[in-house]
């Protein structure tokens, strides 16, 4: 007899719909969603309830456990939306393990109170459920209970699968729109299906897969290429006039000598560096990537995609990527060699390097990159530098009155200390730019320098009081032997076009 499970099952299912009212963005009511989305939600709930029944043999406790798990996803979703203006999507499951390995990069943005309250509440519910709700063994034998749980699990799986076949395909992979139309469970399932689709057509569309090397220049005619993917970099002075102009003096000098500069439309806001990184390297737009726009290194990139690095290697360049953080993060140690880099250098090479804040400083990174440029060699270099110093959480850093005096020319409202910490790191990034400029000028071989920000920083209190950064960052393209020909073009570009433009202006090649 399955009746002892029925009240708890339906009570929990109804509450699962009600809990969705806490989601940001909020999904539309279940009766307004496609029937397939309702089926997926119900199927997943049924499957999870069945597994909990098999484990704990207490129907109401089982329902409470499933609801508690749903609350975890709601907390994570809302924290992500608050910081990054994007809901939780299927590729984000990777970040649960990343948060355990690299807690400083994630947990401060989740907040401490919500997880602690959830943990305490779950502990209390666990104690109360096991103590006060009797197991149903008295009404159902253990074998009968397991059989009921198995039937429920199969029904749930079948219902979810059947619903999934009817889910409307997401044409734009607009995560906000999809969660509003389908709800969280169905949108996660929808994206999971999309991620398993064949990627060959995407990889064939990569611009550098079509690049020709027939008119290959002589090696001695090719300039060294340094690309700086600067963490959270943008020219904050254009939004916040309180910042002293001289903070980015070297960037201003490079910009005045540049072949082109301007704002760059990046693929991320506040985080998710690899979206911008892959967009630059591959030239593939978010629309072309489909569901892989959210985490291109999770599946697509590991299958091999033609990139700027692979193209330059075909021309005879030695291609090196330098990132002073753990190589396993985002699987860069595995992925980047598949994208055309001869060598990937991670934090292991920076054991004794100076930290600025918790991370390897930009100035130490510049000095390390200079060692490659100054070595005697016949082969031109492409060095892609991924900085780390200005990675948040900025609200964990302390600022002094001296910092405010040195960096700001006007008072800031209370609570805007994040902007001071951020500007302090901008100063170090600017010093890095100046040292790389000097190093490239000192070489016999001409050199090009491309600088761009991966995304704007997370500074919630600053944005609330002083205005929100729209999301575009800044870039410039500079060449050591073309400073006199600087044309001062101020052009807004997509990050997916920046590599091609830098090739055309710096080397005279079209990809």
Main-chain dihedrals φ then ψ at residue 86, nearest 5 degrees? -150, 135
Residue 20: pLDDT above 80? yes
pLDDT of residue 1: 47
Q: What is the mean pLDDT of residues 1-9?
A: 74
Structure tokens that stand for 504 in this block: 């055309």
CA distance 455 to 392: 12
Query: Picking from 99-113, 358-372, 420-434, 451-465, which range would have the lowest pLDDT averaged per residue?
Result: 99-113
pLDDT of residue 446: 95
Structure tokens that stand for 88 in this block: 């939780």
Query: Picking from 115-129, 145-159, 252-266, which range would have the lowest pLDDT averaged per residue?
Result: 115-129
Tens-digit pLDDT profile for residues 242-261: 999 999 999 999 999 999 99
The domain segmentation of the chain, as residue ranges, is 3-195, 224-506
Q: What is the mean pLDDT of residues 219-234?
A: 94
Virtual torsion, Cα 499, 501, 506, 507, nearest 10 deg: 90
Q: What angle do CA 250, 251, 252 make, to 5 degrees?
A: 90
**Residue corresponding to tokens 């990046």:** 266
Tens-digit pLDDT profile for residues 276-321: 999 999 999 999 999 999 999 999 999 999 999 999 999 999 999 9
Residue 347: pLDDT above 70? yes
Contact 426, 491 (CB under 8 A): no
pLDDT of residue 118: 66
Residue 371 in 3-state DSSP? helix
Arithmetic mean of pLDDT over the chain = 90
Q: What is the mean pLDDT of residues 260-269?
A: 94
- Superfamily of 224-506 according to CATH: Alkaline Phosphatase, subunit A (3.40.720.10)
């Amino acid at each position: 007899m399955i009746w002892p499970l029925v009240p708890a099952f339906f009570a929990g299912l109804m509450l699962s719909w009600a809990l969705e009212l806490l989601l940001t963005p909020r999904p539309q009511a279940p009766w307004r969603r496609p029937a397939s989305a309702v089926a997926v939600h119900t199927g997943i709930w049924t499957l999870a309830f069945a597994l909990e029944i098999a484990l704990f043999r207490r129907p109401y406790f089982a329902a409470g456990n499933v609801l508690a798990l749903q609350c975890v996803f709601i907390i994570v979703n809302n924290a992500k939306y608050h910081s990054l203006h994007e809901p939780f999507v299927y590729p984000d499951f990777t970040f649960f393990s990343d948060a355990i390995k690299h807690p400083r990069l994630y947990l401060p943005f989740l907040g401490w109170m919500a997880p602690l309250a959830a943990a305490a509440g779950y502990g209390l519910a666990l104690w109360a459920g096991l103590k006060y709700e009797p197991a149903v063994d008295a009404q159902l034998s253990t074998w009968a209970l397991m059989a009921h749980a198995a039937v429920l699990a199969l029904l749930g799986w079948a219902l979810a699968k059947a619903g999934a076949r009817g889910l409307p395909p997401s044409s734009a992979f607009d995560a906000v729109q999809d969660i509003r139309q389908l709800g969280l469970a169905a949108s996660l399932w929808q994206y999971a299906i999309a991620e398993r689709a064949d990627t060959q057509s995407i990889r064939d569309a990569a611009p550098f897969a079509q690049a020709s090397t027939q008119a290959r220049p002589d090696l001695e005619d090719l300039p060294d290429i340094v690309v700086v993917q600067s963490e959270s970099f943008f020219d904050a002075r254009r939004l916040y006039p309180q910042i002293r102009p001289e903070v980015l003096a070297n960037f201003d000098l490079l910009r005045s000598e540049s072949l082109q500069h301007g704002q760059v439309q990046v693929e991320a806001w506040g985080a998710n560096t690899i979206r911008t990184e892959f967009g630059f390297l591959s030239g593939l737009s978010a629309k072309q990537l489909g569901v892989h726009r959210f985490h291109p290194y999770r599946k697509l990139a590991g299958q091999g995609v033609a990139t700027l690095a692979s193209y330059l290697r075909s021309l005879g360049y030695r291609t090196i990527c330098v990132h002073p953080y753990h190589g396993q993060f985002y699987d860069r140690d595995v992925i980047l060699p598949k994208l055309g880099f001869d060598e990937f250098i991670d934090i292991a090479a920076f054991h004794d390097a100076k930290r600025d804040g918790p991370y390897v400083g930009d100035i130490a990174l510049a000095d390390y990159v200079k060692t490659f440029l100054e070595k005697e060699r016949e082969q031109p270099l492409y060095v892609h530098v991924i900085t780390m110093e200005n990675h948040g959480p900025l609200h964990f850093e302390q600022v002094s009155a001296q910092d405010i005096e040195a960096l700001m020319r006007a008072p800031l409202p209370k609570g805007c200390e994040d902007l001071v910490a951020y500007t302090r790191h901008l100063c170090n990034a600017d010093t890095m730019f100046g040292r790389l400029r000097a190093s490239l000028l000192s070489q016999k071989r001409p050199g090009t320098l491309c600088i761009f920000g991966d995304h704007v920083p997370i500074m919630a209190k600053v944005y609330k009081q002083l205005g929100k950064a729209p999301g575009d960052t800044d870039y410039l393209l500079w060449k050591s032997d073309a400073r006199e020909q600087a044309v001062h073009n101020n052009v807004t570009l997509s990050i997916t076009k920046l590599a091609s433009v830098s090739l055309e202006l710096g080397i005279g090649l079209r990809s």
